Chains A and B, each alone.
Chain A
Amino acid sequence: AQSVTQLGSHVSVSEGALVLLRCNYSSSVPPYLFWYVQYPNQGLQLLLKYTSAATLVKGINGFEAEFKKSETSFHLTKPSAHMSDAAEYFCAVSDRGNEKLTFGTGTRLTIIP
């Protein structure tokens, strides 16, 4: 069975500061890993995904994530937070041969002006 743990249900950072959202996964097979963002009253938008190519993955809006197998982690970062980054962020995992996504509980990111 797969699972995802997101540390910190709420994270607050100042505008211009580094954003770091943590995600650890558990999977019995090499995983596919995803970060999705959910803005208020909107659906889930894919930020980036890891599918066994480069371990450092760049996504939209300046976000990136690094797959670290030894740490079973896929943390999301952005060098400089912007007010528009305020949203809920979900980490998700899937088996390569399995269709479904297993989501973490989400991290709500607040940007302090």
Chain B
Amino acid sequence: EPEVTQTPSHQVTQMGQEVILRCVPISNHLYFYWYRQILGQKVEFLVSFYNNEISEKSEIFDDQFSVERPDGSNFTLKIRSTKLEDSAMYFCATRQALSGNTIYFGEGSWLTVV
């Protein structure tokens, strides 16, 4: 079974600090996503990324957030200046092609902002 790999599994950071969450997609996948899940709440879509650009983003994904795929393999989510309310589990997900294919999720990165 192919896997999406995320690092770190857990990070604690001070409010105002920058955080980078990393994801290694499944090798032949072309579409990449970030979702988040605040403790006790539903999983929410943040952003989708294809062909080195954002294809869709939610209202949550404001100027404090950015994504990139700097080396053609890792897919990263950067939070520029973390807030307490950014504490959540962040899931990377990838898909091979757009229509009909399964989205595979990683195991998540748990971010705690203190």
**Is chain B a partner of chain A in the same complex?**
yes
CB pair A105 B42 closer than 8 Å: yes
CB of B103 within 8 Å of the partner chain: yes
CB pair A99 B31 closer than 8 Å: yes
CB pair B42 A36 closer than 8 Å: no
Q: Which residues of A contact B4 (CB under 8 A)?
A: 43
Q: Shortest beta-carbon distance, A68 to chain B, in Å? A: 21
- Interface range on chain B (Cβ under 8 Å from partner): 20 to 34
- Interface range on chain A (Cβ under 8 Å from partner): 20 to 34
Q: Which residues of B contact A104 (CB under 8 A)?
A: 42
| Residues of chain A whose beta carbon lies under 8 Å from any beta carbon of chain B | 32, 36, 42-46, 49, 51, 90, 92, 96-97, 99-106
Q: A43-B108, A96-B99, A99-B95 are in contact. List 17 more A-B contacts (CB 8 A).
A: A32-B100, A46-B103, A49-B102, A92-B43, A97-B99, A99-B31, A99-B33, A99-B55, A99-B56, A100-B33, A100-B45, A100-B48, A100-B56, A100-B58, A101-B35, A101-B43, A101-B103
